[in-house]
Amino acid sequence: MADLIRLQKYFSDCGILSRRAAEAEILAGKVTVNGTRASLGDRVDPDIDLVEYKGKPVKPRQSKPYLYLMLHKPRGYVSTAKDEKGRKSVIDLTKGVGSRVYPVGRLDMDSEGLLLMTDDGAFANHLTHPRHEIPKIYHVTLSTEPTAEQLSALSAPMELDGYRLQPVEIKRLTPNKLEMTLYEGRNRQIRRMCESADLKVTRLCRIAIGKIKLEPLPLGRWRHLTEEEVLYLFPQKENHHGSEN
């Protein structure tokens, strides 16, 4: 008998949904276990239990390598596996990869740049964990040249929704273009920070995650991460198929 695992982890292990997306689908009543509507917190035995999503069986992943991709996301694409409004999704740009992959974190629809995608739930969970410390680097173009006071406001301690943000490193590249380095990723953080300093973002591009650089990958294209890049982002990769925390 296999070890019981959380239902949302089972989904990510099967390469169907990320844990977060699976939780939402479970809460929406779209998942059953052995014919019974599933609840958040349920655990399953992959060798015995029948898990179904929207009436279709969710089968354990076959023994094949996980996929780790870098996508140069264009503006106008949402970073979700499915979109109720029918908008273009980053999934549309990775249909030929040979497996179902989903985004690791998000870039909002009006932003562009480096987006990681995978079918490895443990990899995605590691990179989206609040304690994950690899910096994300953005080039931010503003509608006007920021004043010294506005730059100071961006660099000063700031709160969003009652949460105290970690310090953000800021470097001016041109009169109205900044490089901003974040060590966390709150929802639309850069745009909201700029709004609080009376600045309007006209273009936002993630150019790097730590030492993983976007260039020279063309807009709208993807490539596999190298083994070295995967281990840099996820040092525990060699041992992550063990028991669940």
Q: Which residues are catalytic?
A: 108
| Cα distance between the two ends of the chain | 19
Rounded (5°) CA angle 140-226-101: 75
Closest CA to 80 of 67, 68, 93, 69: 93
Contact 189, 182 (CB under 8 A): yes
- Is the separation of the CB atoms in 170 and 151 below 8 Å? yes
Q: Which two tokens stand for residue 89?
A: 């999704």
Based on C-alpha coordinates, what's the Rg of the chain? 20
